[in-house]
């Protein structure tokens, strides 16, 4: 009898986990498409228009929808705004946009310089969101005189808790850091592991309040990392354009089926097929460089805490 029980335990601990890994699983990913000639979002696609491939093999696309409310965290650098009218205008405009996001859209808000301050979670009700943002902005004068971009992004990820499909951070800042104690590469890995999309808008073309700083440091490393992170996570990097903030909710939520054994992230390709491939020949595609791997727990089942 003892031998029978022992063999059963061996089966459960060795065979069963391996069997579980071989089960098919589905994943949900936010993908966006913009027409190159018009720069407009492509909004007329159907499930049958999408083709997903891994190593040349097609993945079944189960469904697609534009009816979703993904979480957005707006992270705003306020350093230098008190002495620069242009920056002050941008800070005021971004803050107003965050307050005025539509009812029902889950939005969190944060500001940073040397330190970072965030709302306590995501707000779908505009009145509560407005009050929370006002509380954060009261701390704008207490964030120090330096810039810790990587630490701010690191802390921003914590606001989300368990990942949900479409989670996005919009950071309005300059590609510059002179204070963080965490490395850019560490933050980059955190974004990829969490599946969070990075969307960045630059405050000014020259990229820094203190222009003299660029006489000896071009901050090319920061620009390289930000550019790479936006591509890796399916995001976007642009100059500050107020109307472009809608990119955070642009696109389609795709549900697709992964083959057995895909328990690690893997490079993939998203493209159009059929008539859509002929109609939209010149398209900018925005999607994560690697699809989220299968795991024991489905992120899409996590509960969202909002106010």
Return the CA Rg of the chain: 22
**pLDDT tens figures, 245-302:** 999 999 999 999 888 777 788 899 999 999 999 999 999 999 999 987 776 444 444 4
Nearest Cα neighbor of 72 from 135, 136, 37, 124 is 124
Task: Retrieve residue 218's tokens.
Answer: 């071009």
pLDDT of residue 256: 93
**pLDDT tens figures, 129-177:** 999 999 999 999 999 999 999 999 999 999 999 999 999 999 999 999 9
Give percent helix, percent strand, percent coil of the chain, each to the nearest 5. 35, 25, 35
Q: What's the CA dihedral at 171, 146, 110, 206 to 10 degrees? A: -30
Q: Is the pLDDT of residue 211 over 60?
A: no
Question: pTM of the full predicted structure?
Answer: 0.86
**pLDDT tens figures, 174-202:** 999 999 999 999 999 999 999 999 999 99
Q: Is the pLDDT of residue 36 over 60?
A: yes
**pLDDT tens figures, 217-252:** 567 899 999 999 999 999 999 999 999 999 999 999
List all residues 6 or more positions away from 171 whose beta carbon is below 8 Å from its beta carbon.
75, 76, 77, 149, 152, 153, 156, 198, 199, 200, 201
pLDDT of residue 2: 47
Q: Which residues of 222-261 are buried (b: 16+ CB within 10 A; e: fewer)?
A: bbebbeebbebbbbbbeebeeebbebbbbbbbbbbebeee
The domain covering 72-249 belongs, at the CATH homologous superfamily level, to von Willebrand factor, type A domain (3.40.50.410)
Mean pLDDT of the chain: 87
């Amino acid at each position: 009898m003892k031998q029978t029980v022992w063999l059963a335990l061996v089966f459960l601990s060795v065979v069963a986990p391996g069997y579980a890994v071989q089960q098919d699983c589905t994943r949900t990913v936010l993908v966006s498409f913009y027409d190159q000639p018009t720069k407009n979002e492509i909004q007329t696609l159907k499930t049958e228009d999408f083709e997903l491939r891994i190593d040349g093999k097609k993945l079944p696309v189960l469904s697609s929808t534009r009816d979703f409310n993904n979480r957005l965290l707006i992270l705003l650098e306020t350093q230098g705004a008190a002495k620069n009218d242009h920056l002050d205008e941008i800070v005021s405009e971004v803050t107003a946009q965050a307050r005025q996001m539509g009812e029902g859209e889950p939005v969190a808000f944060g500001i940073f310089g040397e330190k970072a301050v965030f709302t306590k979670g995501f707000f779908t009700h505009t009145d509560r969101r407005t009050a929370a943002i006002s509380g954060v902005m009261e701390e704008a004068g207490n964030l120090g005189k330096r810039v810790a971009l990587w630490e701010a992004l690191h802390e921003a990820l914590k606001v989300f808790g368990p990942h949900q499909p479409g989670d996005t951070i919009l950071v309005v800042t300059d590609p510059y850091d002179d204070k963080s104690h965490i490395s850019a590469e560490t933050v980059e890995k955190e974004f990829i592991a969490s599946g969070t999309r990075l969307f960045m808008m630059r405050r000014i073309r020259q990229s820094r309040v203190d222009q003299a700083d660029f006489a000896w440091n071009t901050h090319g490393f920061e620009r390289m990392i930000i550019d790479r992170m936006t591509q890796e996570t399916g995001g976007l990097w642009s100059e500050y354009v107020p109307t472009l903030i809608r990119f955070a909710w642009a696109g389609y939520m795709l549900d697709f089926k992964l083959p057995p054994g895909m328990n690690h992230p893997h490079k993939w390709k998203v493209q159009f097929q059929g008539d859509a491939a002929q109609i939209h020949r010149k398209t900018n595609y925005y999607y994560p460089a690697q699809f989220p791997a299968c795991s024991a727990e489905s992120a899409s089942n996590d509960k969202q805490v909002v106010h």
